[in-house]
């Protein structure tokens, strides 16, 4: 993987298309970054002495995009320093881990992870050398040294990266103490929480009962039944909103929605409190609560995000030894036309609701999502998600969604990452892929350059800002 | 959206590909238009004084492709003059409606509707200015003025558009009085009806019982049971054929087919007459009648079209207030391999049958439809339908279908439109997209130029004409 | 179809991409062919006097890719000399059949079959003329004459084609006498068997009971129950391995897997022996045996291949008159995330297992297969299969799989063909499509040329060799 970042990368290959793309990209390159959905830890910004640790602490151990690929090629997670739940020993020599990684960096050729890492190494760490077994220790030194400089303080990087606003993702029971600390610190970086209630809404979440107790505690509402549960959620949403939240986020195995009566919902909730909820109960309750969350959004105007379709923790052995979010989540087929109909029946025509849909099943782009978003006022489509957050994934999204949904029913980009240092590279891929898509339409005379310039600004900045009410 | 129509639009971007595409396109550009499937009102041609009304009557109110996009961005249908079923007031000032539309015409950037409208405004109305809030009233005047000229008489446009034949779509109970009037008028434009029996074949069609009474009336067959129903349908098919029909058309939620015994079919039909048919009855009866319709086609040689996969009237509120065909039909997944097997078992090898398949689920192109059409003599594949009738949709169709099905198992283009004035633009997109696809194969040496020229003529003209026996 | 083979065919269309592709291709063009999966008859190499028969015997009668297309356009299989099961007369005049074929060779424009045949005619038979009705008899003569030369002896072609290793596919009960004869002959061509136990593992295989008797016979294990069945399979695997096999192959309608207890498996097997197994039994047993086969692979290290998703013998009439493998197999949707989980639970993390997955449902590429292969150490992805073994099919595979799975979790190419003479053309399409894909990344600066050269060698040679342990 070359570490030379070509100024025309990801454009073309047609020469006239490259020329137009370059011009569009230049006009958008320096726009501030809007980061409306992601998983950056707010402690980066609340703790003025925050340190990223070693190069391995920064780039490998927290990034399941990276170590899943090494694992797929036979490297045990223990050898990469990923901590085991049972405390069994794992490799602790970070130089050794780095060497293992560097020798296999060729596995990332042509992958988005490869592109992001390459750009991050170049632009944040000034590295213009290929990472491989030979250069491994030299580059380790260079990264480690840079990490020790004051320029690597997260607040300074936030400014250097030109981030206008960054939203974190926080459980419904989070006290948002780090968000409060950021606000109290006097630093004016715009960091906002996002309300994610999966752990209390999905009855089959591990530790659900404890999460409910915690929800009682933080909300001050004794959750003895369904009405109190709803009240507590509304209380938490108001609290999140008071700290700047403009959105909620919801995960579900499928986008199934169906309303329950107050009585039915109450009965299921009580069974769950008694530890007696079935799988069917859990599915029905999630399907009901998604509608209930849409209802709340029409009242408090928090933008609603739905991320369905990931089969979490597919690999039982990895889950048992290492826990969740270890690169073993696998997509399944998704169905929106039937599943979302009850929610849309209730609130799809309501101008107060914005529901942003994501998918890991690209077959739904042209078949279901674009037609739905091209009709219902409440709907917007989020950018390509996770495995599809890539040069080809974006091209498929543009080509399969935009003709039917129209650009203005999409919600711009979000980086959806835990890796703060990769944020500029991720937005850069989007801006370049977007410029190239628009340039392709310009040179084929589907749109003119004036249109393309306005669309470029919206793709890079305006759509995300407006869709998330930021 | 620029209103300058570039002569090389939709070609490329590669310069050599553009050159070859241009040459192929030129050879096909002036071939007559074959319009074997669409929804143009035959009154345009039976009434010598037919008027299109205002620009809004022409371009917006009848076109759900247009107003669904405005609705998705928060414009109430009432503000666009779409009539409500309850007669509640809607906007009647067409200049005001036009202004609302013009200010939002940017929403159509990069969409097929944008391309068609732009070309229609340019070529039919001589407009070379961008439609936006500023130009709105000026262009309204220009369109309104042109609409009042004798050149805008539909029969003259039919000739100017170089339409060789245009097939309408008509319910089984239609008396085809407009078709009869056209024939009686002495005008020699070739307008033909198409037999579409969904309203009597799908037991769950709204007003099914009244449609059956109407079928009794127009056929002169008292429909007291299933055998009489079949007899009445055969009578109507013969009547349609006598007025030039060469095809039938069938919609169904899925392509499910399965034969019933005469006794089973009769029992379901009698339950339906008594108003007691269940959802399962309706599904079983449609699945049976598709095979029965194929049987009739082997006898009368009417080409059979199947359009499955659209969930009609997805938005309950819009359906309640405005009725059907209001831009709220959403595709679902389709499955052909299992579903069509019983029909193909019965008639798939019969040289008398031509069954043309359409889909809104592009995943079936390469997986099911191309392998099926590349084997069964009775099958042909229709062009990209509805949301996929677009530059990218056509490219996906060409790339995913042709390698396996072969060009000669496809059925050319049809415009499938109610908007008569958009017909030239729609065929133009197909011819350009087709030329570009072929040019791409020529410059990559997959075919030579002589092949490409023959394929171009077939794509633009021959395949539709032969497949529909026109 | 032009018979001039352009040296840059399938590259581009962008000129810089062509230049890079050409250079990559040249570096890989002369690498030996690794053929780890296919259906060439080993008799070609065991019988020193093997003859290919007439041009029709060689190119048409055994190739359902060819005659399915003619059949789809109304040519009866009888007219093409395809033998009927009932012995009813079929056309025997091969010059007449050839004429019928040649007059319709235009049907193959833009299809992979067209490309392969064109290249085969040019490179094996020296034909530089277009095959059509006029040239038919002249070319028949030329092919027939060439077929009579000593250069057309299969062993000499094997060497001329630069095949390094060729694996056949053989039923579990095969005595591998031809493989033994090849070994005994002293010829050093590397021909290996592959163990395919479908006929004994899938209880609903036609003639299952007879296959079990045959398995008893060849293994020397009296199969009176499930434990003996397993023992016999293990015995056969060892026998295949002793003759060079490095892999097994498994077909199933779906990739469903689920373990049965020894008792459950035994009960089903006994029902099957008594001729009383149900459809559910068959499905459960196949789902269990796939896991059992993976278990055996962890012990004997045979690489496991899984080819699911083909609905065999879709056309009942053709099956009745002509039997299986007559171009009437149609793909269905596939689902891997849920279905493979039990197998992966058991052996997905086992470094001894390599399981190579194939699909006819391209929607699984990006959604399921790439994420699975990008995580589980045991998984590799096979190349585009059957209908997707084409220029466009390969491009879709590269674009949809590689970003997530990474190149190194794929298994290179295999030709999967019965048609020995088409092997060089098939590998050539892969090498050219691969070079073009890599070149596209080079010119868009996603990878550099040094990376591309290494990837090219792996695509063309290394990945297949290493994945199949050859």
Q: Tell me: the pLDDT tens digits for B205-236?
A: 999 999 999 999 999 999 999 999 999 999 99
pLDDT at B75: 98
Q: What gap in Å lies between CA B289 and CA B297, rounded to an integer?
A: 12
Q: Over the stretch C276-333, which tens digit does the pLDDT of each residue have?
A: 999 999 999 999 999 999 999 999 999 999 999 999 999 999 999 999 999 999 999 9
- Name the residue with tokens 């939203």: A167
The torsion defined by the Cα of B335, B337, B338 and B341, in degrees rounded to 10, comes to 130
pLDDT at C2: 47
Residues of B in contact with C315 (CB under 8 A): 344-345, 348-349, 375-376
Q: pLDDT-derived band of residue A94, with 50, 70 and 90 as boundaries? A: very high
B residues 173-212 closer than 8 Å to C (CB): none
Q: Over the stretch A325-345, which tens digit does the pLDDT of each residue have?
A: 999 999 999 999 999 999 999
Q: pLDDT-derived band of residue A2, with 50, 70 and 90 as boundaries? A: very low
Q: Which residue of A has its CA nearest to C379?
A: A72
pTM, rounded to two decimals = 0.98
pLDDT at B2: 47
- Name the residue with tokens 């900045």: A461
Q: Which residue of A has its CA nearest to C395?
A: A392
pLDDT at B148: 96
Q: Which residue of B has its CA nearest to A441?
A: B110
pLDDT at C1: 42
Q: How many contacts does B have with C, using Cβ atoms within 8 A? A: 137
Strand bridging mode C33-35 / C163-167: parallel
Q: pLDDT-derived band of residue B4, with 50, 70 and 90 as boundaries? A: low
Q: Over the stretch B319-353, which tens digit does the pLDDT of each residue have?
A: 999 999 999 999 999 999 999 999 999 999 999 99
What kind and span of H or E run contains C467? helix C463-467
Would the CB atoms of C72 and B379 count as touching at under 8 Å?
A: yes
**Average pLDDT of chain A?**
97
Which candidate in C446, C449, C459, C463 is best for mutational testing of the A interface (most A CBs within 10 A)?
C446
Residue B259 has pLDDT above 60, yes or no: yes
DSSP of A212-230: HHHHHHHHT---SSHHHHH
Q: Which long-range contacts (C-beta less than 8 Å, at least 24 apart) are formed by A289-294?
A: A289/A201, A290/A250, A290/A252, A290/A255, A290/A257, A290/A343, A291/A257, A291/A258, A291/A259, A291/A342, A291/A343, A291/A346, A291/A347, A292/A230, A293/A197, A293/A201, A293/A248, A293/A250, A294/A343, A294/A346, A294/A347, A294/A353, A294/A355, A294/A378
Give the relative orientation of helices A391-405 and A112-125 as an angle to the nearest 10 degrees.
110
Looking at the partner chain, which of B8, B9, B108 has a beta carbon nearest the beta carbon of A406? B108
- 3-state DSSP call for residue A116? helix
Which subunits sit against B, judged by 3+ Cβ pairs under 8 A? A, C
Residues of A in contact with B110 (CB under 8 A): 402-403, 406-407, 441, 446-447, 455
User: Is residue A462 less than 8 Å (CB to CB) from chain B?
Assistant: no
DSSP of B357-411: E--S-THHIIIIIHHHHTT-TTEEEPPP-GGG-SHHHHHHHHHHHHHHH-GGGB-
Q: How many contacts does A have with C, using Cβ atoms within 8 A? A: 137
Residues of B in contact with C358 (CB under 8 A): none
Q: pLDDT-derived band of residue C4, with 50, 70 and 90 as boundaries? A: low
Residues of C in contact with B11 (CB under 8 A): none
Which subunits sit against A, judged by 3+ Cβ pairs under 8 A? B, C
Would the CB atoms of A444 and B333 count as touching at under 8 Å?
A: no
Q: How far is B132 from chain A (nearest CA, A)?
A: 12
Encoded tokens for A395: 């091209």
For range B93-107, the mean pLDDT: 98
Encoded tokens for A257: 């929605």
Residues of A in contact with C399 (CB under 8 A): 392
Would the CB atoms of B73 and A349 count as touching at under 8 Å?
A: no
Residues of A in contact with C348 (CB under 8 A): 315
Q: Over the stretch B141-184, which tens digit does the pLDDT of each residue have?
A: 999 999 999 999 999 999 999 999 999 999 999 999 999 999 99
Burial of B153 (0-12, 13-18, 19+ CB in 10 A): middle
Q: Over the stretch C161-211, which tens digit does the pLDDT of each residue have?
A: 999 999 999 999 999 999 999 999 999 999 999 999 999 999 999 999 999
Instruction: Give the count of alpha carbons within 13 A of B466, CB side only.
Output: 15
Q: pLDDT-derived band of residue A48, with 50, 70 and 90 as boundaries? A: confident
Encoded tokens for A392: 């080809």
Would the CB atoms of A407 and B73 count as touching at under 8 Å?
A: no
Q: All domains of chain B, ordered by start, with CATH?
A: 15-50+152-467 (3.20.20.140), 51-151 (1.10.2020.10)
For range B291-298, the mean pLDDT: 98
Q: Over the stretch B360-410, which tens digit does the pLDDT of each residue have?
A: 999 999 999 999 999 999 999 999 999 999 999 999 999 999 999 999 999
Residues of C in contact with A317 (CB under 8 A): 345, 349
Which candidate in C10, C313, C330, C386 is best for mutational testing of the B interface (most B CBs within 10 A)?
C330
B residues 281-340 closer than 8 Å to C (CB): 335, 337-338
Strand bridging mode A195-196 / A170-171: parallel
C residues 347-376 closer than 8 Å to A (CB): 348-349, 351, 363, 366-368, 370-376
A residues 85-144 closer than 8 Å to C (CB): 106-112, 115
Residues of C in contact with B400 (CB under 8 A): 392
Residues of B in contact with A441 (CB under 8 A): 110
Q: Is C104 within 8 Å of C146 (Cβ atoms)?
A: no
Residues of C in contact with B406 (CB under 8 A): 69, 72, 107-111
């Amino acid at each position: 993987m070359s570490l030379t970042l070509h100024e025309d990368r990801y454009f073309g290959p047609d020469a006239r298309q490259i020329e137009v793309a370059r011009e569009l990209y230049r006009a958008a390159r320096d726009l501030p970054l809007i980061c409306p959905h992601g998983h950056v830890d707010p402690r980066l910004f609340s703790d003025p002495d925050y340190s990223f640790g070693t190069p391995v602490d920064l780039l490998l151990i927290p990034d399941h995009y990276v170590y899943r690929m090494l694992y797929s090629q036979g490297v045990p997670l223990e050898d990469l320093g990923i901590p085991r739940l049972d405390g069994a020993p794992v490799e602790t020599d970070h130089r050794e881990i780095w060497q293992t990684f560097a020798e296999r960096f060729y596995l990332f050729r042509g992958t988005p992870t490869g592109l992001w890492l390459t750009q991050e190494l170049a632009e944040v760490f000034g590295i213009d050398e290929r990472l491989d077994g030979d250069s491994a220790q030299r580059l380790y030194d260079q990264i480690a040294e840079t990490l020790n400089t004051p320029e690597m303080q997260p607040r300074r990087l936030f400014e250097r990266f030109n981030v206008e606003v960054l939203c974190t993702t926080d459980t419904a029971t989070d006290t948002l103490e780090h968000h409060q600390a950021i606000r109290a610190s006097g630093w004016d970086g715009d960091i906002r929480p996002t309300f994610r209630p999966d752990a209390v809404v999905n009855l089959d979440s591990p530790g659900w009962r404890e999460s409910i107790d915690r929800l009682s505690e933080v909300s001050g509402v004794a959750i003895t039944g369904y009405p109190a549960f709803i009240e507590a959620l509304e209380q938490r949403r108001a609290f999140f909103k008071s700290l700047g939240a403009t959105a909620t986020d919801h995960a579900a195995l499928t986008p199934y929605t169906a309303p329950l009566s107050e009585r039915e919902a109450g009965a299921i909730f009580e069974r769950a409190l008694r530890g007696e909820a079935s799988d069917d109960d859990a599915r029905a309750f999630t399907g009901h609560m998604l509608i209930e969350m849409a209802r709340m959004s029409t009242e408090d105007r928090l933008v609603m995000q739905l991320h369905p379709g990931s089969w979490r923790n597919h690999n039982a052995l990895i889950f048992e030894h290492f826990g969740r979010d270890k690169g073993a989540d696998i997509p399944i087929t998704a169905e929106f036309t039937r599943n979302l109909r009850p929610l849309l029946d209730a609130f799809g025509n309501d101008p107060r609701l914005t529901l942003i849909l994501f998918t890991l099943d690209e077959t739904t782009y042209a078949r279901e999502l674009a037609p739905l978003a091209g009709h219902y006022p409440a709907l917007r489509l989020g950018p390509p998600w996770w495995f599809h957050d890539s040069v080809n994934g974006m091209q498929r999204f543009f080509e399969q969604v935009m003709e039917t949904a129209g650009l203005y029913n999409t919600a711009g980009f979000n980086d959806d990452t835990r890796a703060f240092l990769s944020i500029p590279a991720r937005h850069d891929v989007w801006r370049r892929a977007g410029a190239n898509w628009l340039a392709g339409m310009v040179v084929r005379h589907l749109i003119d350059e004036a249109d393309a310039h306005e669309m470029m600004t919206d793709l890079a900045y305006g759509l995300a800002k407006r869709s998330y009410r930021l």
